[in-house]
Amino acid sequence: MTSQKTFREELLERSRQVQEILYRYLPREEGYQSALAEAMNYSMTAGGKRLRPLLMLETYRLFGGKGRAVEPFMAAMEMIHTHSLIHDDLPALDNDEYRRGRKTTHVVYGEAMAILAGDALLNYAYETACRAFACGEDAANIGKALGILAEKTGIRGMLGGQAVDVQSAGSALSEDKLDFIYRLKTGALIEASMMIGAVLAGASAEETAVVEKVAGLTGLAFQIQDDILDLTGTQQEIGKPTGSDERNHKTTYVTLRGLEAAKKDVEELSARAAELLGSLPGENRFLEELIRELAFRRN
Amino acid sequence: MTSQKTFREELLERSRQVQEILYRYLPREEGYQSALAEAMNYSMTAGGKRLRPLLMLETYRLFGGKGRAVEPFMAAMEMIHTHSLIHDDLPALDNDEYRRGRKTTHVVYGEAMAILAGDALLNYAYETACRAFACGEDAANIGKALGILAEKTGIRGMLGGQAVDVQSAGSALSEDKLDFIYRLKTGALIEASMMIGAVLAGASAEETAVVEKVAGLTGLAFQIQDDILDLTGTQQEIGKPTGSDERNHKTTYVTLRGLEAAKKDVEELSARAAELLGSLPGENRFLEELIRELAFRRN
């Protein structure tokens, strides 16, 4: 895993393994409500990098986790992420017609079904995560992981960030507010992913707090890189239209700080994340490279 | 509690106590995301009968429950019910402007915030229910209650019923499909409410299965009575416009079976629920009267 190529191959292989796990937890398309399951699965099978469940699994491995309870949580995390994409794309929010190169859910299934499919994926995340109780592992740890999942998804996490983002649309943002939106809207689920991996593997409260910081820095670097790519990438590379921030006069990290400073900040955040990760017991070289890759990705 | 008047007073008193419990679990309106919390609380404080948490608490008492873990679950149940009302009222779904005599969430806060407030309430239900793990009661039972909550809310419960209802709008329904919608859309949360009360109080799997049947019969009677009231009630009594089913040419239990047969079915369902409830160990006269009242209510 020393060369970039070997890491890339490894990443592809592990993402494929993660996807196989996710697919085992998709709802069955049966009964009168089969169209709802179909709409849920349409977006769940639309590809994507599966980064959050991958981060969860690799953090679980970092702390020596060897059980199965992490698997339903990996699927749950991707369901929550997908829920947020479906609802973000709705006409009343971002009104996007394409995502990952495919038509968005509301374009294919209609607005009402897209709202319900998003709701149902959010709920199915919890239904799926609850299956971890049947794995015969520590119920208190699973309860703790559920609590983290819910807090980081909710009003003090992703949905809180999303609400502030929606409210701020069309007006200039302060650096403080933009930072708040990034930490919650993007960062919170990355924090939850890594924290849940740690907690399920039996990490201590102190170790879990360090993991939260690593994830927070990684998430921020990830989001700033997103802004950079929106400015410098092409639709073909990224799979969605670029330059949208500029067209929408949107305040981003790049408009506030400038492109060069933004690039430097990504480097610094990534370096701090790597340093903190190195301070933890255990070693996971793949996870270290993955966190670096997230900051410097090209798509 | 032998006279109807005494039961009514008792119902008012206990509903008030339930409401006090719910209010302790509402999100704080603070930080950048305070508008989201405000939109969530707008609908949570709009009144309503608090029937689901009341049924949960009374079933908990029936099985001798004396702890506190039921309280976050009561709040969670009302949040999920309220989530469904906010999203049902959206322009893409029922497009209702009034609910419980007040303007609906999307009318007051806009469509984007209403979608997010509904999402956030659904999620906050799980965040709140997870607080039960801190009560020091049996974690496995709490996990079981969470699993019931998620299953009965999701694709095999309320949201599944809602999706089939939305898809069937404007077309005639078979009795089988209407029964499916009623059992899932309305029945599932009533089943979950009573089952969670039973499980948290330590009821056996067999007892919980009987409780599920009692709740299913009660929920069906409740929904048929809703159809009857839509035809025979007035806006003042019910707090929302009546006659809407007829105006919308909607298939209801009354249009399929006729008013007199529907009234008779409510009586039979209610009697069967009462009989099954009586077969359980323990006694809760208030719960017996409440279940009867739900079937024969006038608003």
What are A164-209's pLDDT values in tens digits? Answer: 999 998 888 999 999 999 999 999 999 999 999 999 999 999 999 9
- CB-defined contacts A:B, below 8 A: 165
pLDDT of residue A73: 98
pLDDT of residue B244: 73
pLDDT of residue B4: 56
pLDDT of B299 over the 80 cut = no
pLDDT of residue A181: 97
Which residues of chain A make contact with B35, given a CB cutoff of 8 A? Answer: 163, 167
φ, ψ of residue B95 to 5 degrees: the values are 50, 50
For A119, the closest of B126, B150, B159 (CB atoms) is: B159
B73 vs chain A: nearest CA distance in angstroms? 14
φ, ψ of residue B252 to 5 degrees: the values are -130, 175
User: CA-to-CA distance for B79 and B69, rounded, in angstroms?
Assistant: 16
Residue of B nearest to A111 (CA): B92
User: CA-to-CA distance for A14 and A16, rounded, in angstroms?
Assistant: 5
Q: Do B123 and A31 touch (CB under 8 A)?
A: no
Q: Which residue of A159, A181, A183 is the best one to mutate when testing the B interface, meaning the one whose CB has the most B CBs within 10 A?
A: A159
Report H helices in chain B.
Answer: 4-24, 34-44, 51-62, 70-88, 105-109, 111-129, 139-153, 158-168, 175-181, 188-200, 205-232, 235-238, 244-247, 253-257, 259-278, 285-296
Looking at this predicted complex, what is its ipTM?
0.95
pTM for the model:
0.95
Which residues of chain A make contact with B133, given a CB cutoff of 8 A? Answer: 140, 143-144, 146-147
Percent of the residues in chain B that have a pLDDT greater than 70, as a whole number: 96
Q: What is the mean pLDDT of chain B?
A: 93
Residue of B nearest to A84 (CA): B119
Tell me: the pLDDT tens digits for B132-156? Answer: 999 988 899 999 999 999 999 999 9
Q: Do A92 and B83 touch (CB under 8 A)?
A: no
Which residues of chain B make contact with A139, given a CB cutoff of 8 A? Answer: 139-140, 143
Between the CA atoms of B50, B71, B195 and B207, what dihedral angle is there, to the nearest 10 degrees? -130
pLDDT of residue A205: 97
Tell me: the pLDDT tens digits for B59-96? Answer: 999 999 999 999 999 999 999 999 999 999 999 999 99
Average pLDDT over residues A9-14: 94
B276 near B213, Cβ under 8 Å?
A: yes
Q: Do A144 and B167 touch (CB under 8 A)?
A: no
Containing structural domain, residue B265: 4-296
Q: What is the CATH number of the domain that holds A225?
A: 1.10.600.10
pLDDT of residue B48: 85
Average pLDDT over residues A268-291: 96
Residue of B nearest to A125 (CA): B150
Task: Name the band, by pLDDT with cuts 50, 70 and 90, for residue B195.
Answer: very high
Q: Do B130 and A124 touch (CB under 8 A)?
A: no
pLDDT of residue A233: 77
pLDDT of residue A245: 75
- Number of compact structural domains in chain A: 1
Q: Do A146 and B126 touch (CB under 8 A)?
A: yes
Q: Do B159 and A120 touch (CB under 8 A)?
A: yes
